[in-house]
Structure 1
Amino acid sequence: MRRSAIYQRMSEGRFPRSRSLGPKCAVWVEAEIDEWIRAISQIPS
């Protein structure tokens, strides 16, 4: 997934929010990403 897509989805509330560790460092909570993956994998295509 492109970086721009991640930030777009974050702004829409469709992807977990990042945490800032500094001016040029963003991280995500692994458990939140795992839950997001589980949620999208259950959506019928």
Structure 2
Amino acid sequence: MYGDEERNIPPELLYTKYDAEIYLSQTKTVLSLVLKLIEEGTKTS
């Protein structure tokens, strides 16, 4: 589901390139932390 389907607004009108860059950066941070947790979990198991 992209955009606002109820109001028929596509995602490119809801989010800016800046928004996307921030969300991508935050997602990469979360991914990095999750991978570290998985790595630590496999070391102790």
TM-score category of the 2 structures, normalised to the smaller one: 0.3 to 0.5
Q: Which has the higher contact order (CA 8 A, sep 6+)?
A: 1
**Structure holding more strand per residue:** 1
**Structure holding more helix per residue:** 2
Please, what TM-score do these two structures have when normalized by structure 1?
0.41
